[in-house]
Amino acid sequence: MNVKAISTKYKKIVLYFCVLTVFTGCSSERSGNADITIDGFAGLAPLMEKWAEEFHAISEDVFFDVHLNGHENGFANLMSGTANMFVSNLNLTHAELGLVKSRGKIITKKIIAKDGVVIIVKGNSMVEFLRPEQIKSVFSGEITSWEDISGFDRPITVFYNKEDMSRNYFFCKRLLNGEEITGTAIGLDNDQEVIKAVSTTNDAIGISGLVAGLQAMSKVKPISIVDVEENKLVPPTLPYIQYNLYPLSRSVYMYYCGELTGAESSFIKYCLSKEGQKQMLNCGVLPAGA
């Protein structure tokens, strides 16, 4: 656990940043010094850390306790009152909504960012787009040669980020009909390794985070997905993401229960402000209005 003292003036250690796989020692109890306690999806840690630091810089009397222990824990802690808010790139499930209703609570969500998945190939690849059924066949292992797609009889090498389970689940659910990524795919530790592998391996294809893939266009080529119904190409570009037309983009939500306090309301307004949204790309997500 990385503990940071925001203000030595008050001599209070008030801001906790819990990394995804390091939960030992993380208290499940709300800090007595914290005005705003946030839980949720650990992949959003860089964004939450940055926003908490920046908001505290302009509102020194507001202290944060940020625990990022996953969607399920975030929801549970919001319901119990342990957390004021939780962040997630998932909608609440029917079971979670039922629990909210049964307890007579009202949960509100606000879109604070966008993220998603991009399919990438080597920069000099002749592949510009794929149909959904081709993507499914390639990543599920049904197709193992480019001959079935481009006419060239060359083996397909698939790379993916094995550590981002939430993203992989989203990708499989959205385009693989719930099937898992083929066992012959090569799982790497992060997006940068995936991008490097795809950019240096002939006939490779892979998936990475939306921002990471788009920022690496000098090395790899993000491919478009065919909208079969409209018979048109949908590239992973901002206009298509903004209007929810790109099928592998999704919203990032901030959930809260009941009425917001003044500090909580001001914090969310800051997150959605032009100043707050400037941090998005550096934190691996896109602005809420993207």
The dotted CATH code for 116-242 is: 3.40.190.10
The answer to whether 141 touches 184, Cβ cutoff 8 Å, is: yes
- 31 close to 14: Cβ distance less than 8 angstroms: yes
Instruction: Give 238-275 pLDDT, tens digit per residue.
Output: 889 988 899 999 999 999 999 999 999 999 999 999 99
For residues 136 and 282, is the Cβ–Cβ distance under 8 A?
no
Ranges of each domain in the chain: 2-106+258-287, 116-242
pLDDT tens digits, residue range 136-167?
A: 999 999 999 999 898 889 999 999 999 998 89
Query: Do the domains 2-106+258-287 and 116-242 sit in the same CATH topology, yes or no?
Result: yes
Q: Annotate 28-61 with DSSP letters as a single string.
A: SSPPTT-SEEEEE-GGGHHHHHHHHHHHHHH-TT
Q: What pTM did the predictor assign?
A: 0.81
Residue 165 has a CB neighbour count (10 Å cut-off) of 11
CATH H-level, domain 2-106+258-287: superfamily: Periplasmic binding protein-like II (3.40.190.10)
